[in-house]
Structure 1
């Protein structure tokens, strides 16, 4: 395979602009962006034929389940699915088994990824009620950020000690990402549901058990802590319109406190529980149609800075459990996220350049990712070529995640992914993933 690739006749989408250009890749980097580039000797030439060339998506929130839960997924399978979905870099969460809450477990996860990741990789360090010294001493060059579960979810990593939270927000030297739900409020709502339904709680109760009030109370607390201690805070997976009032509108530049929502919260609502049931059960919960509409407005206004997946695969057998308390929460989404994000442009909710800002530029800025997330000369050639005029229907036979299903099955999105490059190597040709060992660990400008 040539170390030189010339992409001609493309429409580049980058930094708020869409423009016709050629792009030359040499030795894994974008060497030249210009209106007409002559092909160097030995170059592989790709005629984009007017299709759109994007920076690869950086997904700042995935659960690839390794180590400890590899019957559901692993770094290799899920990173392959990510590549097929236009996600060229991922940031994996710490609630594995054992959890990534010390230097030894971080080193273990990095070693696994170095051998098996098909996309560029980064890892969060996890907070607990008793690892503040590990947080203070962690090597900040090796982590994308710190994850705090301020609400209990998958895994046993709830941080609910106020003194510990204050110390973390005061002393942490990397961006803090939070899962915000009030566990006491959720538990009280669950007790009420048990009184009403016994062991037959319907999944339609999920957005009331993991309620708007529970989300707001926790997000409000996180924002207050960040303001008190001057911390860099990123609140993950917003699900309610009410929470938006906690965040400033406008471009992300200069913000200390930012917010994210996930693609499923913009495409599903509580109206979908009767047909999809546990397949869309996740934490925090998909809520009302009015919340979905509010989140879309929040994305447009810039109160929500980043779109991500919270990719969290569970097997169909697990999802089929009828006991509400036992059926797990989480959706596999990395293979569908770019198409579903581009659909927001097709539907008129965002323009195309805004979509790219939310999925590539802003994650790179928020987490200080070095030389990725933009189409710039000298940057890593993580690229996605898309056809905005050729639809894709989501079917089970195309799913690459180990669990083998998608909540979007049966939906048709208006775009298709033609090619994906990882560090200049063709990694997806529109039909199959091609592994060259080209993936690299994310590095950070700290």
Structure 2
């Protein structure tokens, strides 16, 4: 499809809400005006609908290659697009781990054929691959991922000399998973000695607030020492918020932070009903942590909202706590969850757009995306704020086939998603299988 005319949309963009028409041509937003009557291949009547920039999710695990029993790029990119996410950045803890430039390029080749959304992939850091990491092209790769705490996979970087080398020498954005491994191990040992078996209620105490703060503060100190561009993922505690600033324009910050949907939505009270299905690393913690993270999103200490979409099979999540993996599918319902928060008065539409699109584009210096602007790529999502949507197994597109939101009725629905100018999703259905584009970055 070469051209689309969107009529009478209510646009949410760059801190403003206004009504306008948009004309999209060959993947680009060519015109925004009060009224456009230009001929187009497709006209979308958007009266009563809100038009947002497509979400850019800076942290997903699509599990390909090597873990495709859980997920793959084909399924998860479609789940993303159905939820209004038009671009994603995917993590390196696949099998094999993405620790060489050749393995990194293999993932790009898969996405070029199978990803409905726009895509980028992190280069993975390990204790022994700094030379390979330094070959990463900053204009074509979103960043370098460092696991400063172990999670799914075996990519823990715990050699202090290696960490210093990474923070000193890597010119790209470094994204970190921060949990202190020694603290977690000590907590596990203590709980095993005091209890017959470990349970999900212990998870936020084992992977504790102190474990998160120790690791995050260490990452910040390294970044300050070497002037590193650091982005700390999935902040889960109130204590960590003090590590970040809100008194600088985002494009001047060297150290930024991300919050995830599950830490904004759930608290430790939900373990009683959700069990392992809300087991994540870092753990969902207290109501006080949840509220503090939300406040930090609103006041600018936390810059980006993402998902950490990380599917596992139902069988895996149904194991006893100690052997059930951490992570779950979130990308299809992230925007709807945030829109529920909007309806509850917790966040404005303008802030949702800022934290899921504008700020992600600024943090990663993404070329030509993240805004509704003439000349920018046409990555767009239309939502009906007042059309309820109930999550059930029949409408879940992630390959794992479940969601922590199953049975929940969101107050808003995604009606259309446009990816690089292609109408990919419309009224509950994938309508176009044209692959998305590789993200590019405006960096020296």
Alignment TM class, shorter chain as reference: over 0.9
Q: Is the 8 A contact 2:200 2:275 kept in 1?
A: yes
Q: Could you tell me which of 79, 82, 97 is aligned with 2:80? A: 82
Per-residue deviation at 1:76? Answer: 0.4
Moved beyond 4 Å, runs of 4+: none
Aligned-CA RMSD value: 1.0
**Other-structure match for 1:335:** 332
Per-residue deviation at 1:298? Answer: 0.7
Q: Number of matched residues?
A: 442
Q: Is the 8 A contact 2:113 2:435 kept in 1?
A: no
Per-residue deviation at 1:315? Answer: 0.6
**Other-structure match for 2:401:** 404
Cα distance per residue 1:68-104 (max 9 Å; x no partner): 1000000001001001010100100000000111111
**Other-structure match for 2:281:** 283
Where does structure 2 lack aligned partners over 5 or more consecutive residues?
Answer: none
SS at match of 2:322: coil
Q: Is the 8 A contact 1:425 1:436 kept in 2?
A: no
**Other-structure match for 1:28:** 27
SS at match of 2:59: strand
Measured in 2, the distance between the counterparts of 1:95 and 1:438 equals 23
Measured in 2, the distance between the counterparts of 1:122 and 1:137 equals 16
**Other-structure match for 1:137:** 135
Measured in 1, the distance between the counterparts of 2:404 and 2:391 equals 9
Is residue 2:210 matched to residue 1:213?
yes
Superposition pairs of residues 26-425 of structure 1, within 5 angstroms: 26-40=25-39, 42-198=40-196, 200-250=197-247, 251-322=249-320, 324-425=321-422
Measured in 1, the distance between the counterparts of 2:175 and 2:285 equals 21
Measured in 2, the distance between the counterparts of 1:121 and 1:440 equals 6
Cα distance per residue 1:25-51 (max 9 Å; x no partner): 0011000011111122x4321110131
Cα distance per residue 1:394-439 (max 9 Å; x no partner): 2221100000010011222221111001111110002111233241
SS at match of 2:323: coil
Where does structure 1 lack aligned partners over 5 or more consecutive residues?
Answer: none
Measured in 1, the distance between the counterparts of 2:341 and 2:139 equals 35
SS at match of 1:140: coil
Measured in 2, the distance between the counterparts of 1:32 and 1:252 equals 28
**Other-structure match for 1:427:** 424
Q: Is the 8 A contact 1:425 1:438 kept in 2?
A: no
Q: Is the 8 A contact 1:371 1:379 kept in 2?
A: yes
SS at match of 1:325: helix
My pick for the range that moved more, 246-255 or 13-22, is 246-255
Measured in 1, the distance between the counterparts of 2:272 and 2:7 equals 47
Per-residue deviation at 1:265? Answer: 0.6
Measured in 2, the distance between the counterparts of 1:388 and 1:157 equals 41
Measured in 2, the distance between the counterparts of 1:311 and 1:130 equals 27
Cα distance per residue 1:325-361 (max 9 Å; x no partner): 2100001001000111122211111111011000011
Is residue 2:39 matched to residue 1:19?
no
